[in-house]
């Protein structure tokens, strides 16, 4: 058993110097969960640890990671009180367990940790597909343990414990997909955690979630990976000029395509049918667009671009158009009116050196 402890570092982490006492989410008077176990300390897991520390959402945080380097880093950063290699050790006595590892690891982790879960514990996750969580995790949980799958729709293209920051979830949506037999009280407790992190919370049918996210997140990533992959197969001279003269659109594609390969492999394989359905629709629409360009159908192109422009305005109106990075400029209101106007930078906040060097969001 690989176990390490960093109580003194964890105590320091509970009082970060990030200037977020003004965030509107004050530290909880009493923790929502006595013990929170995080299985995986990548971008989302480490961000959740930071947010839970900052806002007093958990009395104690334990963590689990396969990599010794990750365990060492998590302790050095004060993200957790104790760190384990074995998930069964990490979840002992936990009131809430959150799986923050790639989807493809869930079944094995659930099988190993299941017998160690205490009665009344809640198991949740942060994965981008939800039917597979019910399929892979549910059968391994003992009676009296409740599964509340979750998906905080937030992220950047960076990964690892040093990539996380407490503000990642601010103003974003978390979707919970419990099945009918899960007690409402368990769902409410998980919702309270994410609201405490600054998120808005919605409850959704898991199948519907997977269809919605296929078009809003998964297929866009497939497109980004594909177009950037196409650029890598161009001739050396052309490829060099593509990189040199990258316009905003291609830069955005490279940003998305820089996302964690293991995580996205697992998302696509575990949400296969909805992704394939949306890709088929996209292929049909692309064929129609090719035909319009070939035959000079300007009216068709104009109408399409007007409709897609309206979607962008809707995203801005919903408050979901800005960066996930706390000090990045938000989408300018003038953008929704179609005028080009300089963006005013968001009010700066105190950030750690690791946060200052982060780029724009990935999802």
Q: Which residues pair with 152 in a beta bridge?
A: 174
Show which of 184, 204, 224 is a domain's final residue.
Answer: 204
DSSP 295: T
The rounded percent of the chain whose pLDDT value lies above 70 is 80
What pLDDT does residue 12 have? Answer: 41
Least confident piece of the model among 88-92, 146-150, 301-305, 329-333: 329-333
Span 268-297, average pLDDT: 96
- Residues 199, 213, single domain; the answer is no
User: Is 242 a domain residue?
Assistant: yes
User: Is 331 a domain residue?
Assistant: no
Find out whether 321 and 330 touch, Cβ atoms under 8 Å: yes
Q: Taking 90 as the threshold, does the pLDDT of residue 279 lie above it?
A: yes
- Residues 140, 217, single domain; the answer is no
In tens, the pLDDT along 209-223 reads 999 999 999 999 999
User: Is 286 a domain residue?
Assistant: yes
- Where does the pLDDT of residue 60 fall: very low under 50, low under 70, confident under 90, or very high at 90 and above? very high
CA–CA separation, 118 and 93 (whole Å): 6
Q: Which CATH number do you get for residue 112? A: 3.40.50.720
- Residues 242, 166, single domain; the answer is no
Its domain, for residue 143, covers 3-204
- Residues 196, 220, single domain; the answer is no
Span 141-154, average pLDDT: 97
Which of residues 355 and 77 earns the better pLDDT score?
Answer: 77
Find out whether 131 and 267 touch, Cβ atoms under 8 Å: no
- Where does the pLDDT of residue 359 fall: very low under 50, low under 70, confident under 90, or very high at 90 and above? very low
In tens, the pLDDT along 151-177 reads 999 988 888 999 999 999 999 999 999
User: Is 76 a domain residue?
Assistant: yes
Residue 97 phi/psi, 5-degree rounding, is -115, 130
What pLDDT does residue 244 have? Answer: 78
Q: Taking 90 as the threshold, does the pLDDT of residue 150 lie above it?
A: yes
Residue 361 phi/psi, 5-degree rounding, is -75, 155
User: Is 77 a domain residue?
Assistant: yes
Span 92-110, average pLDDT: 97
pTM: 0.79
What pLDDT does residue 246 have? Answer: 77
CA–CA separation, 350 and 355 (whole Å): 9
Q: Which CATH number do you get for residue 293? A: 1.10.3660.10
- Residues 34, 178, single domain; the answer is yes
User: Is 288 a domain residue?
Assistant: yes
Number of separate domains in the chain? 2
Residue 252 phi/psi, 5-degree rounding, is -65, -40
- Where does the pLDDT of residue 21 fall: very low under 50, low under 70, confident under 90, or very high at 90 and above? very low
What pLDDT does residue 160 have? Answer: 92
- Residues 130, 217, single domain; the answer is no
- Where does the pLDDT of residue 274 fall: very low under 50, low under 70, confident under 90, or very high at 90 and above? very high
- Where does the pLDDT of residue 252 fall: very low under 50, low under 70, confident under 90, or very high at 90 and above? confident
User: Is 360 a domain residue?
Assistant: no
User: Is 257 a domain residue?
Assistant: yes
Which of residues 111 and 245 earns the better pLDDT score?
Answer: 111
């Amino acid at each position: 058993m690989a176990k390490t402890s960093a109580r003194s570092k964890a105590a320091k982490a509970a009082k970060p110097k990030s200037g977020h006492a003004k965030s509107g989410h004050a530290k909880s008077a009493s923790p929502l969960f006595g013990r929170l176990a995080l299985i995986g300390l990548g971008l989302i897991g480490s961000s959740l640890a930071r947010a839970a520390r900052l806002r007093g959402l958990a009395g104690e945080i334990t963590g689990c990671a396969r990599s010794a380097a990750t365990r060492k880093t998590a302790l050095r950063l004060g993200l957790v009180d104790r760190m384990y290699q074995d998930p069964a050790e990490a979840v002992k006595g936990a009131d809430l367990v959150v799986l923050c590892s790639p989807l493809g690891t869930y079944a094995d982790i659930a099988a190993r940790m299941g017998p160690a879960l205490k009665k009344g514990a809640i198991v949740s996750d942060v994965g981008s597909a939800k039917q597979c969580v019910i399929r892979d995790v549910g059968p391994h949980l003992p009676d009296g343990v409740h599964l509340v799958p979750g998906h905080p729709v937030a992220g950047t293209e960076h990964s690892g414990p040093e990539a996380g920051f407490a503000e990642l979830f601010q103003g974003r949506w978390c979707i919970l997909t419990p099945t009918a037999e899960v007690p409402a009280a368990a769902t409410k407790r998980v919702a309270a955690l994410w609201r405490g992190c600054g998120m808005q919370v919605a409850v959704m049918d898991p199948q519907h979630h997977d269809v919605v996210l296929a078009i809003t997140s998964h297929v866009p990533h497939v497109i980004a990976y594909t177009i950037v992959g196409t650029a890598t197969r161009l001739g050396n001279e052309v490829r060099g000029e593509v990189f040199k003269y990258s316009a905003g659109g291609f830069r955005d594609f490279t940003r998305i395509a820089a996302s964690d390969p293991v995580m996205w492999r697992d998302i696509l394989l575990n949400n296969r049918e909805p992704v394939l359905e949306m890709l088929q629709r996209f292929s049909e629409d692309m064929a129609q667009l090719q035909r319009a360009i070939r035959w000079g159908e300007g009216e068709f192109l104009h109408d399409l671009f007007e409709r897609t422009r309206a979607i962008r305005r809707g995203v801005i109106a919903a408050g979901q158009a800005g960066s996930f990075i706390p000090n990045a400029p938000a989408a300018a209101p003038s953008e929704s009116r179609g005028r080009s106007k300089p963006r005013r930078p968001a009010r700066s906040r105190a950030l750690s050196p690791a946060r200052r060097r982060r780029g724009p969001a990935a999802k």
